[in-house]
């Protein structure tokens, strides 16, 4: 994404809090800003997340600069005061927060975010994007760049993800916050599976396994709850199903999803993570298509 974006938008000033290689926040065309040479578009902030986000707020106030900076999602707590101020001041600041779940794996619970996503979602006037594939990521970047009065978070996964958007669309579907990614074959479907980011892949696997059991369902990708909440009630009912049995899947705390599940089930993590290969951790916390299908068949009537 950045290779193209930084080429065509020279007013972008990027950076990272000592995690450039891990965040992938620097494009090949960007030159480093140094004490001896300010003729660049990338800043090595060092291990100072709060300082980085404070600097980005100052850059955004110039109006002619669009700042973005990267760190791990777990370290967003160090950034929180500056993120809150950016939202309060209606500044266009973009936070690239990678390694967004227990998918981080062997680094263990100190580096695995659990409560961070909904903590950020609780900040007014902040759009939190958690894209499921490269198409949603590009769409999130477009919306963040166009959002002149709101800062944006791009919560990105560490693990490789497949392309889940198979159908071509001429419009940016992420702008709606949530949309039907894979519909049911029947119009009277009463089971909706909602997922974000890396768990959208799991949701599609769940749908496939349910089909094999003759249980119809539809999968909703919800990359941005804030934008979804801005849609009409008619649109929300169309996407989620007004009286549907709803299931949510996200590798984070489930608090907050009850607004959407109602009498359904939320699959997530309500404890700290574990240190192990990420597939083992997902299995430990029940975030597998096999477990989710089992629970749905027990509870869905």
* Catalytic sites, residue numbers: 49
Rounded-to-integer distance, Cα 251 and Cα 263, Å: 20
Place of tokens 């907050």: 256
Rounded-to-integer distance, Cα 116 and Cα 73, Å: 7
Specify the long-range contacts of residues 285-290, CB closer than 8 Å, at least 24 apart.
285/102, 285/251, 287/199, 287/202, 287/249, 287/251, 288/202, 289/202, 289/205, 289/206, 289/208, 289/209, 290/209
Give the sign of the dihedral formed by CA 6, CA 7, CA 13, CA 15.
positive
Rounded-to-integer distance, Cα 239 and Cα 221, Å: 10
Which residue, 54, 58, 57, 25, is CA-closest to 42? 25
Phi, psi of 211 (to 5 degrees): -60, -40
The token pair at 32 is: 């480093």
């Amino acid at each position: 994404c950045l290779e193209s974006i930084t080429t065509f938008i020279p007013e972008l000033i990027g950076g990272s809090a000592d995690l450039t290689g891990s965040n992938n926040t620097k494009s090949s065309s960007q030159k480093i800003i140094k004490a001896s040479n300010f003729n660049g578009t990338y800043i090595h902030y060092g291990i100072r997340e709060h300082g980085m986000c404070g600097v980005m707020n100052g850059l955004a106030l110039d109006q002619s600069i669009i700042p973005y900076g990267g760190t791990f999602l777990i370290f967003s707590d160090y950034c929180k005061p500056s993120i809150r101020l950016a939202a309060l001041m209606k500044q266009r600041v973009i936070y690239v927060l990678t390694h967004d779940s227990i998918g981080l794996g062997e680094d263990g619970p100190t580096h695995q975010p659990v409560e961070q996503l909904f903590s950020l979602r609780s900040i007014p006037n902040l759009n939190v994007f958690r894209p499921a594939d490269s198409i949603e990521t590009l769409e999130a970047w477009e919306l963040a760049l166009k959002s002149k009065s709101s800062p944006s978070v791009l919560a990105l996964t560490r693990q490789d993800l497949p392309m889940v958007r198979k159908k071509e669309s001429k419009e940016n579907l992420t702008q709606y916050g949530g949309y039907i990614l894979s519909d049911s074959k029947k119009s009277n479907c009463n089971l909706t599976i909602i997922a974000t980011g890396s768990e959208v892949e799991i949701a599609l696997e769940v749908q496939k396994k349910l089909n094999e059991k003759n249980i119809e369902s539809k999968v909703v990708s919800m990359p941005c709850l804030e934008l979804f909440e801005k849609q009409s009630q008619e649109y929300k009912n169309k996407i989620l199903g007004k009286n549907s049995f709803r299931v949510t899947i996200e590798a984070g705390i489930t608090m907050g999803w009850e607004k959407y599940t109602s009498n359904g089930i939320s699959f997530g993590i309500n404890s700290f993570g574990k240190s192990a290969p990420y597939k083992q951790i997902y299995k430990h916390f029940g975030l597998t298509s096999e477990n989710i299908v089992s629970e749905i068949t027990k509870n869905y009537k």
